[in-house]
Amino acid sequence: MWWSEDSHNEKEPNDSTCGDRHDWTYIPAPRVVKKPDNYEQQNPVEVVTPDVLSEGEVRRTLMAWVRRKLRYKNELVRKMEITEIMPSIIFYYVLDTFIEQRALKFSYQENPVLGTALPPNRKLKAWEVQCFPVKHFQDETKHFHMPNSDKKGMCNSCYGRGLVLCARCWGSGEIDCRKVSSPERGGMMSLCPECTGNNTADCEKCSAIGHIPCLRCSGKGRVWYFTNLKVEYLTHHRYKLIADEDFPTSAVQKAHGLVIHEHTAELLTPISTCREEEVNLASQHLVEESHFAWPDSRILRQKHKLMAIPVTKVLFNWEDLSGRFWIYGTKRQVYFKNYPLKKVCWP
């Protein structure tokens, strides 16, 4: 009978069985030969041609953009001379790789571990425990007690005594009195009720014993040791922008484009049928790199997407100024850095 996923425990960040990332030993995943599918050959990338905007469309688009800017004047839009309109397509390629990785750590808890449904003396290796993600491309972490790894032993904090040194009085049972002097009454000094004039008082934390119960074992002197398994599901995101060198790449994050190719598989094959050879090379580089980027992990799923974003670069002259701006995306957004005509705001 296999250990089901229902027996796992979600741990809080401060739980003693979680610990820091460096406390864990990551276990390499078993080698499994996976063959990529041939979807890319059977489904070539769609051909996209750029939109050619007329001079009137360029002016109307820029005028609408200026009107949304409260401090911009529209005189430039009306009087500028458009010298060149250059339509093009930029490609935005995105690759997501969803992986699983597992790690072990020697942990402890006060009481025995319960609920493992396994035959007697049956132990599992890290990658033999059945575990599945809730959803692909959704990061999550699960913690398990490795079945039949429990063993009762001496508590290392108190060395089996159940008591540890009191950190407040350092084992003396006494602390410095907080009331160094007492108020004068009728010309005579009264004795401090806590220390009776000795300047020391009983430690309240340990009740003057000098030791307190060990928190790790709750004073029992023994704890249950076990192997803790952590299963992590992570999504690694890679992307490549294929565009002219002078295009403002910061605008791509807000751009609306057309998805011309996307596919999800256990293991992807790079795109090779796009007319833009740079897209094929970018896909080949990122996909092949992803197959070997995480050697100790297991790739569960991959997906890639290619988006085409129409871009129109416009060159203009106005008075003694020569400049440029871009109209981009299917919603015809505008990127115009350092717009020259702004209204003066009086205080």
pLDDT at residue number 115: 52
The encoded tokens of residue 123 equal 């132990």
Tens digits of pLDDT across the chain (347 residues): 334 343 444 444 344 555 556 689 999 999 888 888 888 888 999 888 888 999 999 999 999 999 988 788 888 898 899 999 999 999 999 999 999 999 999 888 877 766 544 555 677 889 998 899 999 999 999 998 888 888 888 998 888 888 888 888 877 877 776 554 445 444 444 445 555 556 677 787 888 888 888 988 888 888 888 889 999 999 999 999 998 778 888 888 778 999 999 999 999 999 999 999 999 999 999 999 999 999 999 999 999 999 999 999 999 998 888 999 999 999 999 999 888 877 544 44
pLDDT at residue number 91: 94
d(CA 86, CA 313): 5
d(CA 126, CA 135): 21
pLDDT at residue number 209: 84
d(CA 200, CA 144): 49
d(CA 262, CA 345): 49
d(CA 283, CA 195): 78
